[in-house]
Amino acid sequence: MKQPQYKRILLKLSGEALMGNQGFGIDPDMIKYMADEIRSVIDIGVQIAIVVGGGNIFRGIAASSFGMDRTSADHMGMLATVINSIALQDALERKGVQTRVQTAISMHEVAEPFIVRRAVRHLEKGRAVIFAAGTGSPYFTTDTAAALRAQEIHAEILLKATKVDGIYDADPASNKDARFIKRISYMEVLERQLKVMDMTAISLAMDNQLPLAVFNLHSPGNIRKVICGEDVGTRICN
């Protein structure tokens, strides 16, 4: 079996990934599948932190278009990520993985506050750490939160799990001629405005030389394959 190439990673999961084939909420089968995938990474000695989106419960920008104040909408979105994080924590602990949720908004009865040194200590002890509530500020997405937290905990790579095999030059769902891109630079992603992560997250990764891997979450074993250096998905680097 191939050895892992990274000691500490950050995995970004979208809220929509938790829906499975449902139109809303959390699919129990999907969250169990994710827990198994994450457990397989911990089993080979890799430290893993996770950022989960909230799109399966609430979409901040979409709500603001209905007349809601953007700040209020984003705060609701942050709370949705906390719901998802607690659900994922429960699924992981059922698989025997010790897990801690840390939130950017204080809610002591529900989760720990985000403290970098405490998060790193949990990782060193083999626990999975889930970062909830984004950055704690409106107008920043969970993609940006993932890039920020990855830097803070000194993750060696940021993994972005998606519904497709990686980055394409067009939407493969609507364009059958869309070309798959194996490797791409940060600057090219920004210049071509490829919709893989938001521009703030890509810029933050570029400024700090944080490599990104984009891959299909729905192919079993893909997280582990990326970590072990197999030729899966798209890499974004210099």
Rounded to 10 degrees, the C-alpha dihedral 170/77/206/6 comes to -100
Domain assignment present for residue 89? The answer is yes
What local confidence, expressed as pLDDT, does residue 4 receive? 96
Q: Where are the alpha helices (DSSP H) in the chain?
A: 28-42, 60-64, 70-94, 116-124, 142-152, 186-192, 199-207, 222-227
Tally of structural domains, the chain = 1
The CATH number that applies at residue 166 is 3.40.1160.10
Report if residue 88 sits inside a domain. yes
The Cα–Cα gap between 79 and 60 comes to 11
**pLDDT for the residue 59:** 66
The pLDDT value given to residue 152: 98
**Cα–Cα distance for residue pair 149/153, rounded to 1 Å:** 6
Give domain status of residue 36, yes or no.
Answer: yes
3-state secondary structure of 19: helix
CA distance 231 to 126: 27
pLDDT exceeds 90 at position 22: no
- Give the Cα separation of 97 and 183 in Å (integer): 33
Give this prediction's pTM: 0.95
- Is 1 a member of any domain? no
Residue 152 covered by a domain: yes
2 within a domain of the structure (yes/no): no
Report the alpha-carbon distance of residue 103 to residue 132 in Å, rounded: 5
CA atoms of 51 and 13, how far apart (whole Å): 6
Quick check: 1 pLDDT over 90?
no
pLDDT (mean) for 130-135: 98
One-letter amino acid identity for 66?
F
Predicted local distance difference test score (pLDDT) of residue 64 = 66
- The 10 Å Cβ neighbour count of residue 129 is 26
Supply the pLDDT for residue 195.
Answer: 87
Task: Please indicate, yes or no, if residue 85 is contained in any of the structural domains.
Answer: yes
Domain enclosing residue 182, as ranges: 8-237
Query: What average pLDDT does range 13-19 have in this prediction?
Result: 92
What would the pLDDT profile of 182-203 be if each residue is shown by its tens digit? 999 999 999 999 989 999 999 9
Average pLDDT of span 2-16: 95
What does residue 47 show for φ and ψ, rounded to 5 degrees? -80, 130
Q: Residue 3 falls within a domain, yes or no? A: no
Tell me what pLDDT residue 21 has. 86
To which residue do tokens 């979105």 refer? Answer: 77
In this prediction, residues 128-142 reach a mean pLDDT of 97
Give the pLDDT confidence of 142-179 residue by residue, as tens digits: 999 999 999 999 999 999 999 899 999 988 888 889 99
Structure confidence by residue, pLDDT tens digits, 167-176: 999 888 888 8
